[in-house]
């Protein structure tokens, strides 16, 4: 059966993070994930997770200066010290709250210098992650939403992962970004499955909640059922009101079972 993780960077944002965790659990999610939880002490977050009896899957490295347009630091030449400090912070926090994955945000950039910087920073991340029992994730992000993002191609991300050949480096596969990048998800997802550790989704129409009867969404669920995906997939969509009013798509659990 398909299981779901609530991305609390987008869902229940009107609540303090520790309360959003409880809301996710109460509404049927089996895991949560966050973007940048660092304003909440790790012991407080850990307590909320334990109280709700729900695991934290993933968190991101800090994005840098958002007001200046930054969206990650790891592929920025000359910013290695900041990037590695952000990586260390994320790994330490993830370890403290028993998270499984850390998404290292690449940032804006292109060319060989950006590539070499990203690879060097990933090497730093992997050296620490392997000792901590954590997995590093990298995520291709479409260039319509984030023009100039260094990791804008699924092939590019796959090539980096294959080159490292490390069990601690995997891909975060966001179906929304794949669709906006022009990928055929039902083709590329099985092809890259061996490199993928976490999957997310949102409707390609406005990055909103998917509709239960949307053929695009149903096709993703059927593909995941076919390949035997067993981990919770992340609901990372934007809401225009109460999160509870957007959860009709969770009825897909029943609809997928009915078709099998």
* Cβ neighbour number for residue 158 with a 10 Å cutoff: 19
> Which residue out of 33, 139, 179, 183 is catalytically annotated?
139
Distance, CA of 251 to CA of 151 (rounded, Å): 33
Strand partners, 51: none
Question: Is 222 an annotated catalytic residue?
Answer: no
Distance, CA of 208 to CA of 248 (rounded, Å): 12
Burial of 62 (0-12, 13-18, 19+ CB in 10 A): buried
Q: In the chain, what are the helix, strand and coil shares in percent, each to the nearest 5? A: 45, 15, 40
Burial of 245 (0-12, 13-18, 19+ CB in 10 A): exposed
Kindly report the CA angle at 36 between 136 and 183, in degrees rounded to 5? 55
What sign results for the dihedral spanned by CA atoms 21, 197, 97, 125? negative
> Which residue out of 33, 179, 183, 236 is catalytically annotated?
236
Question: Is 236 an annotated catalytic residue?
Answer: yes
SS3 labels along 216-252: HHHHHHHHHHHHCCCCCEEECCCCCCCHHHHHHHHHH
Give the catalytic positions in this structure: 139, 236
């Amino acid at each position: 059966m398909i299981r779901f993780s609530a991305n609390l960077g987008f869902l229940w944002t009107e609540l303090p993070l520790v309360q959003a965790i409880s809301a996710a659990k109460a509404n049927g999610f089996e895991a949560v994930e966050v973007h940048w939880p660092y304003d909440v002490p790790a012991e407080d977050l850990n307590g909320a997770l334990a109280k709700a009896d729900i695991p934290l899957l993933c968190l991101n490295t800090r994005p840098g200066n958002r007001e200046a347009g930054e969206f990650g630091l790891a592929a920025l030449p000359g910013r290695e010290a900041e990037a590695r400090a952000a990586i260390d912070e994320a790994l330490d926090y993830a370890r403290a709250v028993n998270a499984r994955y850390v998404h290292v945000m690449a940032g804006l950039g292109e060319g060989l210098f950006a590539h070499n910087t990203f690879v060097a920073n990933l090497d730093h991340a992997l050296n620490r992650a392997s000792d901590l029992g954590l997995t590093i994730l990298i995520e291709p992000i479409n260039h319509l939403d984030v023009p100039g993002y260094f990791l804008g191609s699924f092939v590019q991300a796959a090539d980096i992962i294959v080159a490292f050949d490390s069990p601690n480096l995997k891909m975060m596969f966001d179906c929304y970004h794949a669709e906006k990048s022009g990928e055929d998800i039902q083709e590329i997802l099985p092809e890259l499955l061996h490199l993928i550790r976490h999957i997310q989704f949102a409707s390609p129409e406005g990055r909103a909640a998917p509709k239960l009867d949307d053929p695009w969404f149903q096709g993703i669920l059927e593909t995941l059922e076919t390949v035997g995906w067993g981990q919770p997939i992340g609901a990372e969509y934007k809401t225009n009101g109460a999160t509870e009013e957007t959860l009709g798509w969770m009825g897909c659990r029943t609809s997928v079972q009915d078709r099998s």
